[in-house]
Amino acid sequence: MSNWKPSEQYQKVAEANRVFYAQNAAIYDSSETCVTEQEGQEILERDIDRVLEATGKQPFQIRALDACGGSGNMSLKLLRRGVNVTMADISSELQEIFERKCAEHGYEPTVVCSEIGRFIASGSEPFDLIVFSSALHHLENIDEVLTMAHGRLSPGGVLWSIFDPTANADKSMATRFVVRFEYFCFKLFCQTSDLPGAFSRKLKRFLSGAKASDKSKINLDASTAGVLAEYHIEQGIDDLALVKRMEMVGYDVVFHDRLVGTRYGPTAVVIRLMGDVTTFKLLLRRR
């Protein structure tokens, strides 16, 4: 049991995630790249095998926590391999989608509707594997959550993070432009039904003076939930500095891959030519 006491800002960001996915659970599950893109899913399948091997246990022996598991993209792949899965997420709407998929396949995971920091802090049973898939950038305080997660790992257990953005400060201006343009194309062609809502939310934020660059001053409402929920998306995550801090916590690095991850193939080609990276995979082991 941890004495964790989240700040008001942390709690506001957590609530923003609940509000945002209450609005967008269905469209997220049907269109978000990290859930639907075929090549990415194939890479993920290979990565899962690599990670499970790093635990040193057979799949049926592994107790895994899918932290901020959403609609179950990661959990379903683990369950298919026979892993004992607990999936925790703050969004009941996303979990309902996951539970329907589980029912179709006869899976029976443990499903907990909870903010992830609260869940990790409130329990003591150990996990052999904790996964954060496209999740760290949603957490206002990444370090504290990963530090608490260290305490929930069994000795030699591993924590895996994937599908989070690298720091924008390390990217060229051209790469930042390309990534932004790609996102506009994604909204236009893959989330067309949300375009009127997205325009309305942006207009309301503009009229209210809310600025993504200063999220501490943004009040939470339906128009700002997405900006607050994607807390680190504008600046990205300094993964190099994060790794150093986690080593001080008591993690060892199993692998740390920095690569180009995009929604569309041509975008990846352009960014590689500019010599930048946009995402990272990180596997840490509790000593």
Strands of 279-286's sheet, edge to edge? 110-113, 84-89, 63-67, 127-133, 153-165, 279-286, 251-259
Beta-bridge partner residues of 283: 160, 255
Cα gap 131→33, rounded to integer Å: 18
In the block, tokens 């720091």 appear at: 167
Query: Which residue stretches of the chain are H helix?
Result: 8-31, 33-36, 38-54, 73-80, 92-105, 116-122, 142-152, 173-190, 195-208, 225-229, 239-249, 265-273
- Are 106 and 39 in contact by the 8 Å Cβ rule? The answer is no
Q: What is the mean pLDDT of residues 94-102?
A: 98
Domains with residue ranges and CATH for the chain: 8-169+232-286 (3.40.50.150)
Helix axes 173-190, 195-208, angle to 10 degrees: 130
Q: Which amino acid would we find at residue 276?
A: D
Question: Hunting for tokens 């082991």 — which residue is that?
Answer: 285
How does residue 1 score in pLDDT terms, banded at 50, 70 and 90? Answer: low
Q: What is the pLDDT of residue 122?
A: 94
Q: State the residue for tokens 């990444």.
A: 142
Q: Is 243 exposed, middle or buried (0-12, 13-18, 19+ CB in 10 A)?
A: middle
Res 39: pLDDT = 86
Question: pLDDT exceeding 90 applies to what percent of the chain?
Answer: 95
Q: What are the tens digits of pLDDT across the range 114-165?
A: 999 999 999 999 999 999 999 999 999 999 999 999 999 999 999 999 999 9
Specify whether the CB–CB gap between 86 and 65 falls below 8 A. yes
pLDDT digits (tens, 9 = 90+) for 4-13: 899 999 999 9
pTM value is 0.96
Mean per-residue pLDDT, 221-228: 96
Q: Look at residue 34 and tell me whether its pLDDT is greater than 90.
A: no
The share of the chain scoring above pLDDT 70, in percent, equals 99
pLDDT for res 206: 92
For the record, the structure tokens of 105 come out as 């396949």
Burial of 170 (0-12, 13-18, 19+ CB in 10 A): middle
In tens, the pLDDT along 234-249 reads 999 999 999 999 999 9
Per-residue pLDDT band for 170 (boundaries 50, 70, 90) equals very high
* 163 vs 136: CA distance, rounded Å: 9
Name the amino acid, one letter, at 31.
S
Mean pLDDT of the chain: 96
Overall average pLDDT of the 249-270 stretch: 96
